[in-house]
Amino acid sequence: MSIVLYHHPFSRAATVVWMLEEVGVPYELRFVDLLTGKHKLADILALNPMGKLPILTDGSALVTESAAIGLYLADRYAAGRLAPHLDDPRRGTYLRWSFFAPAVIEPGLLAKAAGWAYKEGQAGWGNHESMIGAMQTALADGDYLLGSEFSMADIIFGGTLRFMLQFKMLEPLPVFVAYAERLGARPALQKADARNAAVIAEQGIKRG
């Protein structure tokens, strides 16, 4: 099998399983035991010097960073379906919200939860209220970020939003909750949840 996902079900790799299920390509999951530090051993560091998951290999291609993995998979295997074509004007919106999740939502909500002191004009995530406002704007024009059409951007942005809601790091505004529920109803997400649950059972692991 050409696609290998280095995976642990309690990591962002769980969302990459959802990406792969939406894309619909065969893939192998290779379990890396984060709980016993296997991600800091030489074989993993050779793939990702950060010693972090997820890591995806596809033949000779190597991709780390969840958002980059999503964009890679959509361009490579689902162009025109999960990623607008390069000359499609919606490509700007697609990239905009795909980058917004790791660049703004993740650090912004972490900064708030941890009570970091920072200068709003210098931090790329700005202030909390403007971030929440931007997220509402992103979801204002339809069921998905591209309106009526689901795309990989919804997995990247929506996966982060769902995680942050689940761990109560994001206020449950009706627009966020409805979007999270819409995503939760997708068969590919349910298949991914089942696949992640099977690994949890197989490995006999529990959340700390």
* Residues at the interface with ligand GSH (CB under 6 A): 11-12, 34, 39, 52-54, 65-66, 102
Comparison of 52 and 195: residue with beta carbon closer to ligand GSH: 52
Report the distance separating Cα 59 and Cα 87, nearest Å. Answer: 27
Comparison of 4 and 173: residue with beta carbon closer to ligand GSH: 4
Report the distance separating Cα 23 and Cα 70, nearest Å. Answer: 9
Residues 6+ apart with CB under 8 A from 36: none
User: C-beta of 85: minimal distance to ligand GSH in Å?
Assistant: 25
Give the alpha-carbon dihedral of 88, 93, 95, 98, to 10 degrees: -140
Comparison of 103 and 197: residue with beta carbon closer to ligand GSH: 103
Comparison of 65 and 149: residue with beta carbon closer to ligand GSH: 65
Report the distance separating Cα 164 and Cα 170, nearest Å. Answer: 5
The helix (H) or strand (E) run that includes residue 7 is strand 3-7
User: C-beta of 26: minimal distance to ligand GSH in Å?
Assistant: 22
Alpha-helix residue ranges (DSSP H) falling in 139-173: 152-166
User: C-beta of 39: minimal distance to ligand GSH in Å?
Assistant: 6
User: C-beta of 17: minimal distance to ligand GSH in Å?
Assistant: 13
